[in-house]
């Protein structure tokens, strides 16, 4: 059986252990081993279940999601500059970019890491198989980039995923 030395009380041992563990966590974050969570603000209708599923996917990918439920989503989209033709059920804002609809989390991370001259990425509509929209008969879908000059281009094409 382990016995603590007389000179080290249980309380002092626990304080020292917590200090060492905390210092180790700070060091690994600074070295990049554990990246800090990236904040994203998501505007959505309070009744939308697929938006909640997308938020869960974003959280699993390392984002800190701040949800702002609103019954007047169209005015929020308008004030943020979301083109009507590219609108979907929710709008994410992170790092000065817009992420409209069911944009895959890895592409959000890529944009935030590479910082291209874009307004953001958009997945118009609600394609079955996109993150948060997993289901039977998934479909391929396009992720549209909108440049700061307003030009639109296909940023990526993804095959949808079936519900697990």
CATH 3.40.630.30 fits 38-158, yes or no: no
Q: Which comes out higher in pLDDT, residue 91 or 49? A: 91
pLDDT at 31 over 50: no
Handedness of CA 74, 77, 82, 88 (dihedral sign): negative
Mean pLDDT of 21-26: 43
pLDDT score at 12: 46
Mean pLDDT of 93-118: 96
User: How would residue 14 be classed by pLDDT, with cut points 50, 70 and 90?
Assistant: very low
Asked if 100 and 88 count as a contact pair (C-beta separation under 8 A), the reply is yes
pLDDT at 164 over 70: no
What is the tens place of the pLDDT at every residue in 39-53? 999 999 888 878 888
What is the tens place of the pLDDT at every residue in 120-154? 999 998 999 899 888 888 999 999 999 999 999 99
When the pLDDT of each residue in the chain is averaged and rounded to a whole number, the result is: 82
* Residue listed under structure tokens 């059920």: 89
**β-bridge partners, 121:** 99, 145
Distances in Å between the alpha carbon of 23 and those of 10, 12, 18, 164?
A: 20, 17, 9, 39
In 47-105, where do the E strands start and end? 63-69, 90-94, 97-101
Which pairing describes strands 63-69 and 38-44: parallel, antiparallel, or unpaired? parallel
Chain centroid offset of residue 136 CA? 24
Mean pLDDT of 79-103: 94
Would you kindly state where each structural domain of the chain is located, as residue ranges?
A: 1-36, 38-158
Task: Give CA–CA dist 121/154, Å, rounded.
Answer: 9
Give, as one character, the DSSP assignment of residue 32: T
pLDDT score at 98: 97
């Amino acid at each position: 059986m382990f016995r603590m030395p007389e000179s080290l009380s249980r309380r002092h041992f626990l304080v020292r252990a917590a200090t060492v563990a905390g210092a180790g966590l700070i060091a690994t974050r600074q070295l990049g081993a554990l990246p800090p969570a990236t904040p994203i603000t998501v505007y959505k209708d309070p009744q939308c279940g697929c938006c909640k599923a997308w938020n869960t996917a974003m959280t699993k990918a390392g984002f800190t999601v701040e949800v702002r439920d609103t019954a007047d989503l169209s005015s929020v989209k308008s004030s943020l500059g979301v083109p009507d033709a590219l609108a979907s059920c929710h709008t994410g804002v992170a790092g000065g970019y817009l992420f409209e609809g069911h944009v895959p989390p890895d592409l959000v991370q890529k944009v935030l890491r590479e910082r291209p001259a874009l307004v953001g990425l958009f997945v118009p509509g609600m394609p079955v198989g996109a993150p948060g929209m997993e289901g039977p008969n998934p479909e391929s879908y396009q992720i549209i980039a909108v440049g700061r000059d307003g030009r639109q281009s296909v940023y990526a094409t993804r095959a949808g995923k079936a519900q697990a």
